[in-house]
């Protein structure tokens, strides 16, 4: 009887080893997913013997139109997995181009993370697994064998917001071992994000390390603040505990953040070795952060020589009643007359904010303000914003 049981166990183990193409794991937790092959195809696996349907949703699939908060937008595509006789669902992709990809599963209509992939990022209330395909653009987002900068979380005093607030700061390789002063890029997140968004989903530290190592970007400090003015720290990091994340928090786009932004600049220039002048300050942001960037840079029109707007939420808002939003045309003219090294805009062709960005371009044209404009494929997605940072940073402080 014992011999028969042992024989059956051996048969089961042999069957699993054939499926996985590896020495069989004794536990289903050891299933490999995703498995990236030499030809850049990727196999995903999900063990769910009782499920009737398992699907994967990812940005490596063709985009589909979905209804968002502001109308129809591009969303990640979905495709089914195939179930074998042991209850293991799987799918292997076509060869994928080099990129950073995110994905999640759906099991009988219930969203699920990949239990075999511990690597995940959060954006707003959405948590997704990710993987990177190298040998191209994806290498920009990898931690490569090069000198590395440091990412720290600090707390700064904001008298205007009447609280101490958490902030993320990247310092370039070698910062701690030199007396050199560095320029600063203030990098702002979008709606639903916080001070961790650019360093996690945006891979800002890896991008900066790689650009600096390749000699494409000047060593610089990157300051990544929290644009949600009612928070002292991002989700799970502040004094309000662990609330359910919201897409847009109160007062986020009503001028309070922009009016008090110099608290952040003051903290940076008092606590880091920086070149504290207009020629060595840059500000950029995505979506809501692009909205903040446009208004901060013109409200303080002699503060930043480099301005970057990425898929910016530049449409008028009914709650934009603060003094910051007064005299937009006049302050843009003042900003132009004070002189800028670079005013840079980028947007995807299918971004739901495309029309608003075209209208803003016309406003700049009407006042004869010089700018650089980049138009890419794709919509309102992190894939574009990582590319934009990798293209914008090399243009700074030259």
Give the model's pLDDT for residue 315: 77
Greater confidence (315 vs 342) lies with: 342
Give the model's pLDDT for residue 63: 83
Q: Pairing relation of β-strands 281-286 and 184-188?
A: parallel
pLDDT band per the 50, 70, 90 thresholds, residue 69: low
Q: Which residues of 176-187 are buried (b: 16+ CB within 10 A; e: fewer)?
A: eeeeeebbbbbb
Give the model's pLDDT for residue 11: 34
Greatest alpha-carbon span in the chain: 91
Give the chain's mean pLDDT: 90
Give the model's pLDDT for residue 289: 97
- Give SS3 for 51: coil
342 forms bridges with which residues in the sheet? 306
Q: Which of 87-96, 242-251, 282-291 has the weakest average pLDDT?
A: 242-251
pLDDT band per the 50, 70, 90 thresholds, residue 323: confident
Q: Residues 349-377: what's their mean pLDDT? A: 96
pLDDT band per the 50, 70, 90 thresholds, residue 23: very low
| Domains, the chain, ordered by start | 22-135 (2.60.40.10), 143-395 (3.40.50.1820)
Statement: residue 340 has pLDDT above 80:
yes
Q: Residues 265-289: what's their mean pLDDT? A: 98
List, in order, residues 6 or more apart from 374 with CB less than 8 Å away. 344, 345, 346, 347, 388, 391
pLDDT digits 0-9 by tens, 38-51: 999 999 999 999 99
Cα distance between residue 247 and residue 54, in whole Å: 28
Q: Residues 300-318: what's their mean pLDDT? A: 91
Cα distance between residue 146 and residue 218, in whole Å: 15
Statement: residue 218 has pLDDT above 80:
yes
pTM score, whole prediction: 0.90
Cα distance between residue 268 and residue 60, in whole Å: 38
Give the model's pLDDT for residue 103: 97
**C-beta separation of 357 from 314 below 8 A:** yes
Statement: residue 28 has pLDDT above 60:
yes
Give the model's pLDDT for residue 247: 82
**C-beta separation of 128 from 135 below 8 A:** no
Q: Residues 318-322: what's their mean pLDDT? A: 63
> In the numeric block, which tokens belong to residue 302?
């002699």
Greater confidence (229 vs 3) lies with: 229
pLDDT band per the 50, 70, 90 thresholds, residue 279: very high
Greater confidence (68 vs 259) lies with: 259
pLDDT digits 0-9 by tens, 166-217: 999 999 999 999 999 999 999 999 998 999 999 999 999 999 999 999 999 9
**C-beta separation of 45 from 84 below 8 A:** no
Radius of gyration of the chain (CA): 24
Cα distance between residue 334 and residue 48, in whole Å: 62
Statement: residue 14 has pLDDT above 90:
no
Give the model's pLDDT for residue 16: 41
Statement: residue 284 has pLDDT above 80:
yes
Give the model's pLDDT for residue 18: 43
Give the model's pLDDT for residue 12: 41
Cis previous bond, 34, omega within 30: yes
Statement: residue 299 has pLDDT above 60:
yes
pLDDT band per the 50, 70, 90 thresholds, residue 26: low
Cα distance between residue 389 and residue 280, in whole Å: 17
What DSSP line would sit under 208-257, residue for residue?
HHHHHHTTSS---EEEE----TT-SSSTTTSTT-SPPP-SS-TTTTSSHH
> In the numeric block, which tokens belong to residue 27?
């536990």
Among candidate residues 205, 256, 206, the one with its CA nearest the CA of residue 231: 256
Give the model's pLDDT for residue 6: 39
Give the model's pLDDT for residue 71: 59
Q: Residues 314-330: what's their mean pLDDT? A: 78
Greater confidence (247 vs 211) lies with: 211
Looking at the chain, the whole-number percentage of residues with pLDDT higher than 70 is 88
**C-beta separation of 151 from 168 below 8 A:** yes
List, in order, residues 6 or more apart from 106 with CB less than 8 Å away. 53, 54, 55, 56, 57, 78, 112
Give the model's pLDDT for residue 319: 62
């Amino acid at each position: 009887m014992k011999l028969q049981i042992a024989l059956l166990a051996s048969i089961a183990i042999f069957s699993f080893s054939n499926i996985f193409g590896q020495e069989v794991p004794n536990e289903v937790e050891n299933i490999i997913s995703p498995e990236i092959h030499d030809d850049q195809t990727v196999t995903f696996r999900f063990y769910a013997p009782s499920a009737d349907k398992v699907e994967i949703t990812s940005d490596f699939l063709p985009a589909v139109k979905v209804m968002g908060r502001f109308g129809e937008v591009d969303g990640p595509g979905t495709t089914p997995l195939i179930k074998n006789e042991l209850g293991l669902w799987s799918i292997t992709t076509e060869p994928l181009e080099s990129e950073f990809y995110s994905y999640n599963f759906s099991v009988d209509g219930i969203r699920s993370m990949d239990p075999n992939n511990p690597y995940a990022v959060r954006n707003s209330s959405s948590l997704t697994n990710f993987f990177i395909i190298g040998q191209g653009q994806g290498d920009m987002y990898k931690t490569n064998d090069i000198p590395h900068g440091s990412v720290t979380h600090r707390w700064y005093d904001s008298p205007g917001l009447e609280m101490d607030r958490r902030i993320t700061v990247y310092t370039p390789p070698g910062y701690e071992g030199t007396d050199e002063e560095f320029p600063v890029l203030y990098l702002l997140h979008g709606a639903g994000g916080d001070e961790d968004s650019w360093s996690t989903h945006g891979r800002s530290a890896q991008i900066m390390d790689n650009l600096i190592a390749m000699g494409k970007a000047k060593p610089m400090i990157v300051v990544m603040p929290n644009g949600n003015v009612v928070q002292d720290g991002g989700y799970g990091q502040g004094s309000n505990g662990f609330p359910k994340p919201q897409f847009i928090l109160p007062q986020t786009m009503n001028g309070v953040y922009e009016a008090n932004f110099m608290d952040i600049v003051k903290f940076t220039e008092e606590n880091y070795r920086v070149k504290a002048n207009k020629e060595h300050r840059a500000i950029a942001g995505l979506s809501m952060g692009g909205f903040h960037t446009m208004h901060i840079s013109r409200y303080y029109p002699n503060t930043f020589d480099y301005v970057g707007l990425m898929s910016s939420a530049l449409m008028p808002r009914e709650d934009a009643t603060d003094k910051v939003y007064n005299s937009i045309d006049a302050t843009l003219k003042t900003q132009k007359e004070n002189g800028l090294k670079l005013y840079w805009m980028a947007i995807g062709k299918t971004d739901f904010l495309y029309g608003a960005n075209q209208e803003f371009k016309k406003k700049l044209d009407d006042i004869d303000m010089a700018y650089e404009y980049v138009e890419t494929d794709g919509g309102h997605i992190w894939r574009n914003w990582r590319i934009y940072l990798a293209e914008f940073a090399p243009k700074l402080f030259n």
